Amino acid sequence: MTTPDRTLRHAETEAELLACIPVMRELRPQLDSTESFIERVRMQHGQGWRLLAEWQGGTPCALASYRWLDNLIHGRFIYIDDLVTTEASRGGRSGERLLAELERFARAGGASKLVLDTGLANSRAQRFYFRCGLLATGLHFTKVLA
């Protein structure tokens, strides 16, 4: 999917992944080093993780990381790990374009759903997800072990 000045494509090379770090840090400020980001990306790639980016010129302005999964609850689905748009790009429909592209991938790949989690207090994101047709269908429970 392309707009006149923006293009959606996966970040594949190390240089492209490195270019995505400032955008990802807007959502995940705990990513304290380039090395830890690259290490996590390499590990997650082995689990089928991909990073779709909206590029403006050679610079990413929005990201969606995702993976294909299968389970008894959802069947085959795409799980969206991260969805973030830079502060400067918000309101420009980047998030909508990324979600639409992931939906296109999911339908073409035989998936029955897109699934993502968001914080209970993140009401702005929740309003955005509702507008994009995602519905809250459950609660995600976590127990911190370390």
19 in a domain, yes or no? Answer: yes
Q: What confidence tens digit (pLDDT) does each residue in 110-143 have? A: 999 999 999 999 999 999 999 999 999 988 899 9
Position 3 pLDDT exceeds 70: no
Cβ atoms of 102 and 64 closer than 8 Å: yes
Domain of residue 20 covers 2-131
142 in a domain, yes or no? Answer: no
88 in a domain, yes or no? Answer: yes
Question: What pLDDT sits at residue 32?
Answer: 85
Domains in the chain: how many in total? 1
Q: What confidence tens digit (pLDDT) does each residue in 32-64 have? A: 899 989 999 999 999 999 999 999 989 999 999
> Where does residue 82 fall: left (phi above 0), alpha (psi -120 to 50 degrees), or beta otherwise?
beta
The CATH number that applies at residue 84 is 3.40.630.30
Percent of the chain with pLDDT over 90: 90
- Name the residue among 83, 90, 93, 91 with its Cα closest to residue 53: 83
Q: What confidence tens digit (pLDDT) does each residue in 59-89 have? A: 999 999 999 999 999 999 999 999 999 999 9
* Higher pLDDT pick, 11 / 36: 11
Q: What is the pTM of this model?
A: 0.92
139 in a domain, yes or no? Answer: no
